Every structure is written in C-alpha cells, then in structure tokens.
A and B are shown apart, each in its own frame.
Chain A
Amino acid sequence: MSTRLYPLYRRGNPQRRVFLPNFFMKIVKSKVDIPKNMVKFEVPLQMTQFDVKNYLEKIYKIPVAHVKTEVILGEIKPQRWKGYLVKNDDYRIATVTLHEGSFFEFPKMFKEDAMGEALDEYEEETEKLKELERKYKRVDPLRKDVPDFFGI
C-alpha cells in the first residue's frame, strides 16, 4: 500500500514523518511495586524508545523524562495431552518515567466481588417477587378450602 510505504530514498533525504501511526500503546499493571512517577506500557515489538517518547509527547501531550524498553519472551509451555511445546508471542514493555511531582496509580476498574453482588441482587429480587406473588395472588372463592393436590 502506497500510503504505508516509505521510499528508500527521497530527494534531500528529509526526516522521516508518520502521518497515520498505527502503533498501539496500552498501560499495564505492574506486578511489582514501582515508583509513583513510573508507568508501564505494552507496545508493539517494532517500537523504539524514541518512538515511545514521541508518541506520548505528540499525541497525548505527556511530558516524559525517561524511557526504557525491553522485549519479554512469550511463555513456553507444553501443550496438554500432546507431545509438543507452545509459545506465546513476544512483546515489548516500555517503562516510562514521568517528571517529578506527577504520579500514577493503576485505577480499580472492576467490582471487588461481582459474583457476591450479583448473588445478593438475585436474592433481593427473588424476595421481591415472592412478596408480589403473595400480595397479588388471586384465590378462587369456589375452591377455597380444597387442597392443592385436588384437581388440576
């Protein structure tokens, strides 16, 4: 595709420019404690430190002090019940240091006890339903004292 291709040589040898960058960057939660002004990003393998810095500064307007990237080997494990190994894809982690005074802490995005809340809700709803049933139950005056098992 011509819009994604960059010619090997262009007259004057100008600085390379990207007009529609297709790199992604996602913030990931660090498994170990890191300083407050550090953020961990998962980025494509092709991305360099300079790319990360430019990306954050130009697109998101985040002032960046320092960037370090490393390639993490994908997990290798045996396939269950089969005689071969499978490997996850490699990925690159960029650790970005922000300037002094700024902080970042990965926010809580999901309910603490989603299943428990849903269960409570379910119990509440069933109780309400039972109440409603009791409230609005219509009784046939002709079979008032007849037991349930009698008739259809």
Chain B
Amino acid sequence: MSALVRRMSALLIQPKGSLLRFSAVAEKSDVKQSGDVEKKSDKTRREKQNFTNVEGLKQFFDEDNFFEDRVRSGRSWNLDELRIKSNSDLHKLWYVLLKEKNMLLTLQAAAKEAVEVMPNEERIDRVEISMENLELVVRERNKAYFDLEVGETGEQPVFVHTNWMGLQTLRVATPHYLPQRYNKSFNERHPLPFNDRNQSWFLNHYREKRSALKRRESNRATRHVCRLLRRNPNADIDALRERYPTVDVDAEKARLHYKGEI
C-alpha cells in the first residue's frame, strides 16, 4: 500500500504523460501526441467561471491557473535591479507586488479551507522578499535625502539604557510630546538606578559568572592548540594565531618544547 501511495505522490508532482518518459521503447512522436490530447481535453472540460462582474475583485484571483497542480514563476527582485529604478517606478511596482501578495494569500486561505495543497507556495516568499528589498531601497534614498537636506539620517537614534537590574541594553528612541524630565508619572514608575545592595550583589555574581565562562572558553582553546601542536609539531603557526586569537601560540609552543613534548 505504501508503495502505491509513494507512486501516487510522484505522479502528482510530475507533469502529465511523464510516466511515458521512462519507457525506453516508446517513440517521441507518440508521447507528444498523447500529452497534447490530454491537455486539450482538460481545458475544454473546465470552462471559465463568471464569478463576479466587478473588475477589481477579479484581481484577487489568478483565473488562468485555476485547477493547476503547479504554477511556474520567476525569482524575486534583486536590490541592484531596484536601485536603478526611479521613485515613481518603485511606487508602481509596490502596488503590483501588493496585489500579487493579496492574490496568493487568497489562494492560500482557499487551499487551507478546501484541505488542498496550494500550488507553489514559495511564490508568497518571493513576493515578500521583493517587497523587503524595495523598502530597503526606499530607505536608502530617504537616508541620503535626509543627510543632504537636514544633516541627519532621519533614522531612529539608538541609546544605551541601564535597567533596574543594572544591566545595559540598547533602546530605540521614539518621539514624545513631553520630554522625559517633565514626565512626572513616568519618572515615578521608572526611577533612576541607584546604589542598591541587591543590585550590586547581583552584578557581582553576574560578572563573576561571565568572567568564569570567558576563562573556561580561553582555557579550552589553549588546550586545543596544545593538542594540535603535540599531534603536529610543524603546524602553521600563523594560521593557528589567526584561528585562535586569544591563545599565545608561541608561548605554548615554547612551553611544550621545554617540557620535551615536541
């Protein structure tokens, strides 16, 4: 049974008339004729549906590829291709991509509802990648424009924030109506870090743990380098130095030589 199922799944993936490809005896003309006949009969069987009289709603569906098992498509737009386009071209392309994405999402939802496999689901990813790239190009241009006109990038500034545990994190600054020093309720809720006993205890232990981890890692690297040198005394020293920057390779080699291990 499982063999049959596997065979069936292979059939579903392959185009029609593909089984004949494996028969060495069949002539090429036979294959072509049979495939054409099948396709024609399929197309005549499925007539175009008149599902709406609103032109806009038809754009949510890919009428030409209804009942298809697989739909061939190209790749997504590259950054370099988008960079040479004008602003108005990019604006038009965005809406083309948006409509394509909506169409594909509609198809995906319909497939899920009908418990079917959506034909070539990777098309959604391709459209999304194109949209991301397009937005990146627009961002680049925006940055350049702001730099030229205002002297700033126009991006959100990032600053270092010390939280209540004493740990430092990066935060993105957002615009506010009121400066923070005038915002009484916010300052009450978020007091400045002070010399807290618990905080200092936590920070001491945290740093100890972090340094121990670091030390262990460097020791491990040193041991590894020693092992390599013992196994291969003529190892490339420069390569080792480059690979393990924390280890003093020359000193380790001298030590091993003094001990008589190499």
Which positions in A face B, CB cutoff 8 Å? Answer: 1-3, 5, 7-8, 19-22, 24-29, 39, 42, 56, 59-63, 98, 101-111, 114-115, 118-119, 121-122, 125-126, 128-129, 132-133, 135-136
Contact = CB atoms under 8 A, between A and B. Distances in A.
Contacts of B111: 109-110
Contact of B12 (A20, A103, A118): A118
A39 B57 contact: yes
Closest 3 CB pairs of A and B: A60-B56, A62-B56, A136-B25
Interface stretch (B135-143, B186-194, B208-216, B234-242): B135-143
Interface stretch (B78-86, B90-98, B222-230, B249-257): B90-98
B66 A61 contact: no
15 contacts: A1-B155, A2-B153, A3-B135, A3-B142, A8-B177, A28-B110, A59-B95, A61-B56, A106-B51, A107-B51, A109-B107, A110-B110, A121-B11, A132-B23, A132-B25
Interface residues of B, number: 57
Given A8-B175, A19-B91, A118-B11, A24 B101 contact: yes
B70 to A, nearest CB: 13
Contacts of A42: 109
B66 A27 contact: no
A19 B11 CA distance: 46
A121 B16 contact: yes
B56 A27 contact: no
Contact of B105 (A2, A26, A39, A119): A26
A62 B54 contact: yes
Interface string B2-37: 000001100110001001100101100000001000
Contacts of B26: 132
Contact of B98 (A5, A59, A118, A119): A59
Contacts of B95: 59
A56 B102 CA distance: 12
Interface of B is mostly: helix
Given A109-B107, A122-B8, A104 B51 contact: yes
B89 interface: no
Nearest to A119: B8
A109 B131 CA distance: 26
B109 A28 contact: yes
A21 B175 CA distance: 22
A110 B53 contact: no
A111 to B, nearest CB: 5
Given A2-B155, A24-B101, A42-B109, A125 B19 contact: yes
B52 A103 contact: yes
Nearest to B7: A122
A22 to B, nearest CB: 8
Contacts of A128: 19-20, 34
B65 to A, nearest CB: 9
B76 interface: no
B149 interface: no
B98 A21 contact: yes
A5 B156 contact: yes
Contacts of B202: none
A101 B12 CA distance: 41
Given A106-B110, A133-B25, A135-B25, 7 more contacts: A26-B60, A27-B57, A104-B57, A107-B61, A110-B111, A128-B19, A136-B25
